[in-house]
Amino acid sequence: MNNKPVAGTNGEKYVPYEERKGEESTVYFTRDLSSEGLKRVFERVKEGIDGKVAIKLHTGEKHGPNIIPRGWVKDLLSAEEVLKDARIVETNTYYEGDRYTTDKHRETLEVNGWTFCDVDIMDEDGVTALPVKGGKWFKEMHMGKNINNYDSMLVLTHFKGHTQGGFGGSAKNIGIGCADGRIGKAEIHTTPGSDDMWDIAKEEFMERMMESAKAVVDHFGDRITFVNVMRNMSVSCDCEGLAAEPVVTPNVGILASRDILALDQACVDLIYAMKEEDRHALVERMESRHGLRQLSYMKELGMGNDKYHLIDIDNDDKEIKPQEAIKDVTPFVKED
C-alpha cells in the first residue's frame, strides 16, 4: 500500500490580495538599493537578533553577477553592534560544482569576496535533525550540524527566480540553504531510488522545501528575522552563476519583516503589480514551476500571514499598496 502524502494544487495560480483571509503582519519597504537602505530596513526588524548571530545568505557560484553586493553586507556588519561578531552561514550543494565540497566551497567564497568575516559551512562537520512540526512529508529535516551553534539568525536573501522553485525568497534561502548537502537536500529534491536527482517538482517540491524552512523558523522562534533584496532578479537562481539568464525584471528595493510568509508574499505581489512587459519573465517562471504553492503551503503550516501592512520607510512610514511601491520602477539596466 502506498502511503505517500498527496501534494496540494494550484501552485500556478496567483491569489489576489482581496481574496486572502486572516490577520495582517508588517512589511517594511525602501527603494534605496544601497548599504544605507539595507541598514535602515534592518533596523526595523532586528528585535530578537542577538547572541551568536548567523547570517544566512546565498554567497553564489564563482563570479556570480547577481548576488547581494559584498560591500552592502560588510557595511551592515560594521554598523550594527548586534552583528559585529556575526557569521555568514552556508551549506554545501547537492549538485557537483564549485560549492560541492567544503574545500571547493571555501575557494568559491574567496573568489566572490566573502572574506571580511568568518563563513561557517554548517555541514562541514556533519548533520543534525531538526523537527518538522505538522509536516506531511517529514517529521524531521537534516540540517548542517553547526546550526545548533547559533542563538539567532538574520535571513538575508536575494529575491529572484529559480529553475525548480519558480522563485527564491527567504523560505527557499533557509529551506534549501540550511539543509545539508547530502542528506537534507536529497530529501527535498529526490525520490529514494530515482535515477533523476531532480525528480521531485512542482507542488510536492514546494511543500518539502517549505517544511524544511519551517524547521529552521521553529528552531529559532522569535530570534529570526528576514530581509529580501529585490535587485538583479534573473529568472535563474544565484546557484547558476555566470550561466544565469539575463536580468529583464526591473529593480525594486529592499523589504523586511519578522514574518517570513508576509515578506515573500509581498515580494511576489510587487512583481505581479508591475506592467506586463516588466513582469512577464518572472511571472512565467513562478507559474510554470507552480512556485506559488510555497506561499499557500506556508500559510497552511502556520508560518505567517499572507496579508500585511506595507510600510514605506522612505516617506514617513506611510502605508502603501504594492502598486505604489513599484509605480516608478524603470526598465532594468545592468550596472557597470
The pLDDT of residue 249: 94
Which grid coordinates are listed for 180? 545539508
What is residue 243's DSSP assignment? G
CA 106 to CA 38: how far, in whole Å? 26
The pLDDT of residue 316: 98
The pLDDT of residue 66: 86
Parallel/antiparallel/unpaired status of strands 224-230 and 152-158: parallel
Q: Is residue 160 part of a domain?
A: yes
For residue 155, give its domain range. 24-325
Q: Is residue 8 part of a domain?
A: no
Parallel/antiparallel/unpaired status of strands 152-158 and 140-144: unpaired
Q: Is residue 101 part of a domain?
A: yes
The pLDDT of residue 14: 98
pTM given for the model: 0.97
Asked if 249 and 277 touch (Cβ cutoff 8 Å), the reply is no
Q: Is residue 238 part of a domain?
A: yes
Q: Is residue 336 part of a domain?
A: no
Q: How confident is the model at residue 16 (pLDDT cuts 50, 70, 90)?
A: very high
The pLDDT of residue 243: 61
The pLDDT of residue 336: 57
CA 304 to CA 218: how far, in whole Å? 12
Which grid coordinates are listed for 224? 529570526
CA distances to 2, 161, 170, 205 from 164, in Å: 26, 9, 15, 8
Closest of 9, 79, 49, 31 to residue 230, by C-alpha:
31
Q: How confident is the model at residue 331 (pLDDT cuts 50, 70, 90)?
A: confident
Which grid coordinates are listed for 112? 566572490
CA distances to 37, 304, 308 from 257, in Å: 15, 11, 10
- Average pLDDT on 149-167 reads 96
The pLDDT of residue 237: 74
What is residue 211's DSSP assignment? H
Domain count for the chain, please give it: 1
Q: Is residue 2 part of a domain?
A: no
Q: Is residue 5 part of a domain?
A: no
Residue 103 identity (one-letter amino acid): D
Average pLDDT taken over every residue of the chain: 95
CA distances to 261, 262, 268 from 252, in Å: 19, 17, 12
At 300, which CATH number?
A: 3.40.50
* Helix, strand, coil content of the chain in percent (nearest 5): 35, 20, 45
Taking 80 as the threshold, does the pLDDT of residue 65 lie above it? yes
Residue 32 neighbours by CB distance under 10 Å: 16
Q: Is residue 12 part of a domain?
A: no
Taking 70 as the threshold, does the pLDDT of residue 241 lie above it? no
- Average pLDDT on 57-76 reads 93
Residue 120 neighbours by CB distance under 10 Å: 19
Query: Could you give the 3-state DSSP secondary structure of residue 158?
Result: strand
Q: How confident is the model at residue 125 (pLDDT cuts 50, 70, 90)?
A: very high
Residue 253 neighbours by CB distance under 10 Å: 23
Q: With pLDDT > 90 as the criterion, what percentage of the chain qualifies?
A: 91
- Average pLDDT on 84-109 reads 96
The pLDDT of residue 88: 98
Q: How confident is the model at residue 104 (pLDDT cuts 50, 70, 90)?
A: very high
Query: Could you give the 3-state DSSP secondary structure of residue 65?
Result: coil
HEC-encoded secondary structure of 277-325: HHHHHHHHHHHHCCCCHHHHHHHHCCCCCCEEEEEECCCCCEEECHHHH
